[in-house]
């Protein structure tokens, strides 16, 4: 499976690194930062995110938009305010049947979720969501991590199962994509409030 992870920040790097543990996946991390791309490809590190960690030798990085054309599945690990802008710039490089997996959390105006906004603004229906109370550092340690997968078709579910095979990623699943998107935002709010109360 040809996989591209859009966004080489902490979570994008961590999940790309873990997905590359499954050697049936060809995982490419996309970044516009050429220095970061060169570092990942030469030293197997991304020190701006993980100063003391090494990435797997199976993970590569690119800043070349043409690499997007090879991707069967694209994981979106961008800050929510810039997702639509970036996808609009890149959508001409997408395969016709590409599966988009939203990792980012957030809601737009009037409670529109990121997945809904991608479907209406970008015109792609083949979009799913993957969320959980996960930590990038733990993923980099290959710690078992449970995520919730929101999908609509059995094909999407089967693709995700094959992608995470042999990795530390595990999924529970639901066809309520909107529920997963909204609850992931509420979870962050609750966590902040509980942290303040606890302090």
Per-residue pLDDT of 156-199, as tens digits, reads 999 999 999 999 999 999 999 999 999 876 555 444 545 556 56
Select the highest-mean-pLDDT range: 23-32, 101-110, 178-187, 189-198.
23-32
For the entire predicted model, the pTM comes to 0.92
Per-residue pLDDT at 170: 96
Per-residue pLDDT at 133: 80
55 vs 42, 52, 163, CA distance in Å? 11, 10, 18
Q: In whole numbers, what is the pLDDT of the chain averaged over residues?
A: 92
Per-residue pLDDT at 183: 87
Task: Give residue-wise pLDDT tens across range 48-94.
Answer: 999 999 999 999 999 999 999 999 999 999 999 999 999 999 999 99
21 vs 27, 62, 83, 192, CA distance in Å? 9, 19, 27, 33
Position 135 confidence tier, pLDDT thresholds 50, 70, 90? confident
Q: Is-contact 37 22, C-beta < 8 A?
A: no
Q: Is-contact 133 170, C-beta < 8 A?
A: no
Q: What are phi and psi of 158, to 5 degrees?
A: -65, -40
């Amino acid at each position: 499976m040809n996989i591209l992870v859009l966004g080489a920040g902490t979570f994008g790097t961590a999940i790309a690194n873990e997905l590359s543990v499954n050697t049936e996946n060809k995982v490419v991390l996309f970044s516009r930062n050429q220095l970061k791309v060169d570092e990942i490809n030469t030293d197997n590190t991304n020190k701006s995110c993980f100063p003391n960690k090494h990435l797997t030798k199976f993970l590569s990085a690119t800043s070349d938009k043409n690499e997007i054309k090879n991707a069967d599945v694209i994981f979106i690990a961008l800050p929510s305010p810039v997702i639509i802008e970036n996808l609009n710039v890149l959508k001409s490089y997408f395969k016709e049947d590409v599966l988009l997996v939203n990792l980012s959390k957030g809601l737009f105006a009037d409670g529109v979720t990121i997945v809904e906004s991608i479907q209406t603004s970008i015109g792609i229906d083949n979009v799913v969501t993957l969320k959980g109370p996960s930590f990038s550092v733990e993923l980099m340690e290959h710690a078992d991590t449970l995520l919730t997968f929101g999908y609509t078709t059995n094909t999407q579910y089967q693709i995700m199962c094959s992608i995470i095979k042999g990795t530390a990623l595990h999924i529970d699943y639901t066809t309520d994509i909107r529920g997963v998107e909204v609850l992931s935002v509420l979870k962050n709010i609750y966590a902040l409030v509980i942290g303040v109360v606890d302090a």
